[in-house]
Structure 1
């Protein structure tokens, strides 16, 4: 009756509507099956079949990396995996280099020694001097992270900050350890888990004055680079970060105290709420945020029944003096609103 409408309803190109169900992807296409003329297809990782008659329509090829290892099945002694070395955008000149494997058992001793020398020379030539020193810095960051409980995402942020500093810094006289410490300190602050400058300086055996001077130059270099337009507008630099609060210094010292695992999360949430309330009411504005955090922990732990944890142990976990903790604790105990919120 309406031939024009019938012509428009016929699609020239196949239209697919993927439907995922329990790891199997079903495709409803406009082209029917060549056997039963059904349009409901079912596609797994290897084959595409018709759901009505079960006819295999297509056998797809796996375009991913081949991670399978057949050493237990075959008689070969090598690893036949067709997977190269991991790539890193920070080492664009060296990530896709060839790897020379060492000779296994057998063969002449002279040939094995020659191949080991060739392998060593090839490894040296893959990394230029600047890239090799950069790799040494990254290994230093990774070692510091593993020794002091720093997350991997924080180290990745610190690596990006170091790359930006190396690219735009023209100053001389800064020690490498102090620059690495500045990057880790800024990355911890960006991740919402800041630590005190003294803690970061102790990781690399630095004096506080040396770390403070390097961190000031570190902030100045990145701020000037962003002001000149060398960094993108969305790049966050350390000078743009907010100042630390007492609630930021709750989780790390709390993990050092002998508290049951089931109560740790509740105590952390309550301590953060009390610390924010204490800063809002300016109950201890002359103390540092870490000192206020230690007093909040002492007040909360003694109120909920952890009286066996002394103020001395809390002060050691927070790295503050016991006298400072007691003075700040007395100011908090004078606030009725704060005590009623516990």
Structure 2
């Protein structure tokens, strides 16, 4: 069945069909061409005899990448199925086998960044920013002998900060291969030094706040809506006091306090696992917040009596 459109000759809505060869929309009743030279925006399908059923038949390539020399649209010729081994003896085969694409290292780096970003559920703008940061550093040719995975992870960490979607170093490390938090931290300092020192570019990452991490931490713990709301208000209030702890530690400590005031109490071990903050650090942050607790915890969530019943650190 075709679509329906109004035909001026038939003076009514009639069924029409699309002639893909000519690009015409034709009325099936009288044959009138209602629209000509249309552009077919559907996918172009290919059929190759030597392809398996697992191959995608849509003949559409990936988008161009302005960070690559040729936009990422270089042609790669693969060895056809069933052909002889003479393919690699040809000049083209030897050129391709040596990996002569000048952007091959960049392409691999971008793939690694994309994999890490996808595992963290990050948007494409963050991936693009991380790619740009890596390209700038890589252009200086200072990466020999350095942990490549740590460099890529650090680029992603900086990109998250710059896009106001920060992730903890531990979260970044959890999706990276063969690296540690310490190595990522060192790589971040190296990248900032390269961009600001040798290239003269300002690397603005912005301040991070406990609220930047709170919603995600609460989600990991499966906290109820009202409990999350109370934790968010408490985090905002905590910024009025001089609590010299990292925003991540403050977020973890407030989650601990809020859940202790709720029916659904969360063990310290679970909070440590969800936030990536050590249990001892959460206890110490709780101790620093305790003197201000009556002003931090929302009144609608807990009464003075409830606060007094909290264990004194």
TM-score, normalising length: structure 2: 0.69
2:236 corresponds to: 276
1:218 corresponds to: 191
1:192 corresponds to: 164
Matched, 1:133 2:95: no
Give 1:71-110 correspondences, 5 Å limit: 76=49, 83=59, 85-89=61-65, 90-93=67-70, 95-104=72-81
Matched, 1:245 2:202: no
Cα separation, partners in 2 of 1:141 and 1:78, compared to 1, 3 Å: closer
The gaps in structure 2 that reach 5 residues or longer are 302-313
* Root-mean-square deviation (Å): 4.3
Cα separation, partners in 2 of 1:24 and 1:323, compared to 1, 3 Å: farther
Aligned equivalent of 1:292, options 229, 245, 250: 250
Structure 2 Cα separation of the partners of residues 305 and 268 of structure 1: 13
Shift of residue 298 of structure 1?
1.5
- Give the length in aligned residue pairs: 283
Aligned equivalent of 1:334, options 274, 293, 302: 293
Aligned equivalent of 2:122, options 108, 128, 151: 151
SS of equivalent to 1:335 = helix
Deviations 1:125-164 (A, max 9, x none): 6743x41222232233244345x53425233321121112
Shift of residue 339 of structure 1?
3.6
Shift of residue 84 of structure 1?
5.5
Cα separation, partners in 2 of 1:113 and 1:64, compared to 1, 3 Å: farther
Matched, 1:114 2:86: yes
Structure 2 Cα separation of the partners of residues 225 and 304 of structure 1: 53
SS of equivalent to 2:159 = helix
TM-score, normalising length: structure 1: 0.64
Cα separation, partners in 2 of 1:127 and 1:24, compared to 1, 3 Å: farther
Deviations 1:137-193 (A, max 9, x none): 2233244345x53425233321121112223x3646671333212201112223433
Of the two, which has the highest radius of gyration? 1
Higher relative contact order (CA 8 A, sep 6+): 2
1:304 corresponds to: 262
Aligned equivalent of 1:254, options 212, 215, 218: 218
